[in-house]
Structure 1
């Protein structure tokens, strides 16, 4: 039923043990891996689909792609389709006791190797939101609610990386981590907000308190210009990019909708953050969002659809309909031929990553659907 959601991914090649390890070694200063790494990178850049076929990379479906597909349907699934979605979420769940979701492949970071059985706070809330939507269908309502409630144990298993009684920062996953990720704290805040509004009433007080403390931590990391760095530190390798910035704004906004006391915590922080997006990321001539403000990572791509997807979502959230329609048209012309979509564009205008859904294409389609609904409402 969901074969069209099963696709290649930008990180398929780097999920292979050989190349993932090479990349990890290089990022940690082992330059002997560079020649083979460069060859692999160029093959991936020039022939992405052929390279994946040659390496035997499997096509996969990501839990949050399925979740966004489900949410974009806005409850228009049949009961049988709801059962199929729920069954897939069950299969994708990576916890024996509790429920949480991650990626369908290994993730080789600079610090650790994350298996495909590791749950992430940055992925699980998408499925939680889809499960809440599925509770509206009588056929699967009880089961969907049960799975949602079981995500509480995952939330409570996240390691505390900072706490002073007023502010709280949690781990990105169940693995050992050395740096605090700012946008991950907002996903945790939103997840706790959903539990406050729809979860076990016995957990409501703790969920509200944790939501507020997580938000307080994130606000303490906001810079004077309204922006956030990816990591909550000033170490080398930190960066400031568009779509992670949008994640922070989006998640805090959603959390505040569910937890009224959050609004006093946020103050004017989101307004300042949105102003920063408009002023520094949006190229007003091309009507596309830039990837970085302080770029420290080098690659061969100029534009990324994930930035466009999340900025479009901010425009929709703000009710900026005319701007959103013009922006969507600009993005569609550059990233799509009317039938297929690509997730990146290089400096020469060459499009890359045909129908690689997870990396921004599905999020863009979801936000586009939200814009369609908003346009109907304002007519």
Structure 2
């Protein structure tokens, strides 16, 4: 039976969760461990290489790392150091921009009892800008434009991705940071940085023809993989950049990546993680979210009925196959191996964000997002301010916070919902001519209000 929350989280409750998380984040100084950092050590790479080759010792050599992760994940402090992660910094920056925008939705003078000077609207913008500056320092040199990767070696089923290899699932979040900073501030240098990023995405990633006017994007500049969410991220960046910079060559390449995604959607609405790669022929939760959310963002530009149907069919499958009977996200539609994780919070984060993006087209998706966010802030936020990382079978809670997985995604998801609700409430209050009834609770010192949100504003918000 599916759980029915007595109420959905209010904006005041979401702001409170934000405040708690920000206290912890300030203390962390943006540094954290990572769920895959130990596997990036010499031993970890060797163990995973054996495992992926189906060597008899593969299970034995990876078992100690997995056991450590379940029983005492803090032991990694003896093996690796904390680090900065571009994906996390980008998502945190996007979250702060959400908070900056949410403050603009608040009426003049409406301040919560815990509001303080350092939580003014401008403070959120400053935090976002600081993280954007940090991203520039983390960019990988030697390519056609700004680009980002992991700060550790990553042994995967098809080989080794060395530390600092730029890839297409990290770089688009950075692109969104700079385009949004430009959209909000009008400062031209942010647009120039976004144009540089688009240059990397266009020039340095490879295309593998897959069908009629279709091509798969590579994951990095050094492979010819056919990972579907990689093409979705790339197509999103190139379609957006084509419109911003009037680059028709971007659009042509994006169209081929889009056709690859549409042509690989299966009759039931699902997508495999990758095609022509038997070890990667699985369907999982957050990669499905990546495909759906990027298709939705792409369609904000294209307004294509074909893309809209693909999203609707994909969401129907996703909702049916990737949630349990209590509306908790499942990691796999069909588990490829024995699963020891009962609830992966990364999946929760992506489910919330996806539901918010789809709220105008699939209202049930928004209801699910609000339900999951309510559980997140009431059941899984720890007294220290961060969230549980995952829950294993048997109820064991993993509470070591990893910024790249899933703390930054959860924070972004909560702020996505907060902004959507603040904007919706402003619209409702405007329509009812009762501006004096705005909810009080956001830590925003000053901000303008009192005008009707334009349809363009609402459409843009549903594409963030």
TM-score using structure 1 length:
0.90
Distance 1:126 1:236, change over 3 A: closer
Match of 1:273 among 290, 295, 314: 314
> Which aligned pairs between 1:40-59 and structure 2 lie closer than 5 A?
40-49=65-74, 51-55=75-79, 57-59=80-82
Distance 1:350 1:332, change over 3 A: farther
1:316 maps to which residue?
356
1:132 maps to which residue?
179
Structure 2: where are the runs of 5+ without partners?
1-24, 101-120, 426-464
Distance 1:18 1:296, change over 3 A: same
Structure 1 distance, partners of 2:231, 2:69, is 32
1:188 maps to which residue?
234
2:151 maps to which residue?
104
Structure 1 position 101, deviation (Å): 0.8
**Deviation digits for residues 149-180 of structure 1, max 9, x if unmatched?**
11233222111222556111110111234x41
Structure 1 distance, partners of 2:341, 2:312, is 30
The answer as to whether partners of 1:106 and 1:115 remain within 8 angstroms in 2 is: yes
The answer as to whether partners of 1:208 and 1:259 remain within 8 angstroms in 2 is: no
Structure 1 distance, partners of 2:213, 2:348, is 34
Q: Does 1:123 align with 2:170?
A: yes
> Which aligned pairs between 1:249-268 and structure 2 lie closer than 5 A?
249-260=292-303, 263-268=304-309
Distance 1:48 1:275, change over 3 A: same
Q: Does 1:248 align with 2:291?
A: yes
The answer as to whether partners of 1:162 and 1:170 remain within 8 angstroms in 2 is: no
Structure 1 position 136, deviation (Å): 4.6
**Which moves more between the two structures, 34-43 or 124-133?**
34-43
> Which aligned pairs between 1:114-193 and structure 2 lie closer than 5 A?
114-136=161-183, 141-155=187-201, 156-164=203-211, 166-177=213-224, 179-193=225-239
**Deviation digits for residues 10-43 of structure 1, max 9, x if unmatched?**
1011011221122112211222354333223212
1:86 maps to which residue?
132
The answer as to whether partners of 2:93 and 2:127 remain within 8 angstroms in 1 is: no
Three-state SS of the structure 1 residue aligned to 2:255 is helix
Q: What is the count of residue pairs matched by the alignment? A: 369
The answer as to whether partners of 1:212 and 1:265 remain within 8 angstroms in 2 is: no
Structure 1 position 299, deviation (Å): 4.3
The answer as to whether partners of 2:273 and 2:282 remain within 8 angstroms in 1 is: yes
Higher relative contact order (CA closer than 8 Å, sequence separation 6+): 2
Structure 2 distance, partners of 1:23, 1:233, is 21
The answer as to whether partners of 1:99 and 1:147 remain within 8 angstroms in 2 is: yes
Structure 1: where are the runs of 5+ without partners?
none
- RMSD, aligned CA: 2.3
1:12 maps to which residue?
37
Q: Does 1:238 align with 2:281?
A: yes
Q: Does 1:71 align with 2:94?
A: yes
Distance 1:33 1:367, change over 3 A: closer
Match of 1:345 among 378, 384, 391: 391
Match of 1:25 among 50, 58, 82: 50
Structure 1 distance, partners of 2:289, 2:212, is 27
Distance 1:86 1:311, change over 3 A: closer
Q: Does 1:298 align with 2:298?
A: no
Higher-Rg member (1/2): 2
**Deviation digits for residues 76-113 of structure 1, max 9, x if unmatched?**
55576455323311111013342111112111112221
**Deviation digits for residues 190-236 of structure 1, max 9, x if unmatched?**
1102211223x2x2x12222222211111111111111111123724
TM-score using structure 2 length:
0.74
Distance 1:134 1:227, change over 3 A: same
**Deviation digits for residues 257-300 of structure 1, max 9, x if unmatched?**
1344xx14414111111111222222242x31111111113342
Which 4+ runs in 1 deviate beyond 6 A? none
1:325 maps to which residue?
370
The answer as to whether partners of 1:114 and 1:175 remain within 8 angstroms in 2 is: no
Structure 1 position 73, deviation (Å): 1.6
Distance 1:33 1:227, change over 3 A: closer
Match of 1:368 among 380, 399, 414: 414
Structure 1 distance, partners of 2:212, 2:313, is 26
Three-state SS of the structure 1 residue aligned to 2:254 is helix
Distance 1:317 1:33, change over 3 A: closer
Distance 1:353 1:176, change over 3 A: farther
1:215 maps to which residue?
258
Structure 1 distance, partners of 2:381, 2:49, is 33
